[in-house]
Structure 1
Amino acid sequence: MEEILGIQEIKACPIRYVLAINDTLNVISGKWKLPIIGSILFGKKRFTEIQRNIAKITPRMLSKELKELELNGIVTRNVYDTTPVSVEYELSESGKNIVEVLDKMVDWGLSHRKSIMGENQK
């Protein structure tokens, strides 16, 4: 098994850097995964709550994306033995660590928008 390298070792090898980016994108890419993560970010949610938070997502697509996020260890599915059975979704520990990535994306997006809008106003 390959040892886990630190960011400095990864940055020293462009191939490993690109592979690490691809690993990340394979887990979070797509139209719906980041909105789903954003919906669950602040606490457990039931399926219908997540669906209500994301405009235009179909139940079938939400179910598919939640299963993929669960398989990738980002989301945890909790089934409660109630009548009727209730299911809640929450971010796993790995999923909670994605918040740092999302925060950086938001920072970059705001900065980028500001620079583009500033250039267009000249």
Structure 2
Amino acid sequence: MTDQTTLELAYADRRAGQAANLAAGTTGHRDDRTVIEIAVAVCARNNRPFTADDVHQLVRHERPDGYDRNLVSSVMGTWAQAGRIVRELEAGLSPSRNRSRKGSRNSYWRGARDGKQVLPCPA
């Protein structure tokens, strides 16, 4: 198997995992996904680089009793795949401010632009 085929299979597995996680976050009485989508949209529309930690901070404000933290990476991954946010390569990486992440690195992201138009907040 070529490296390219292996990478394509890995990305397909990632997308399938994100889809399953997103579906679980919207079942029954849970609306964690909606809150997280709004938080990502707010960060993307601010016209400055942001990390997953920034999204978590907004979500914690709305969900102080807890939420599915894995949904943040799933939502951000689907937004990136759709071209709604882009990695801010010049900004480098930021050590996570979340203790449970043990200093792992977060990418900086920015809302994608179409000319001067920032993509709209999800419905």
TM range (shorter): 0.3 to 0.5
* TM-score, scaled relative to structure 1: 0.46
Could you say which structure has the higher helix fraction? 1
* TM-score, scaled relative to structure 2: 0.46
Q: Which has the higher contact order (CA 8 A, sep 6+)?
A: 2
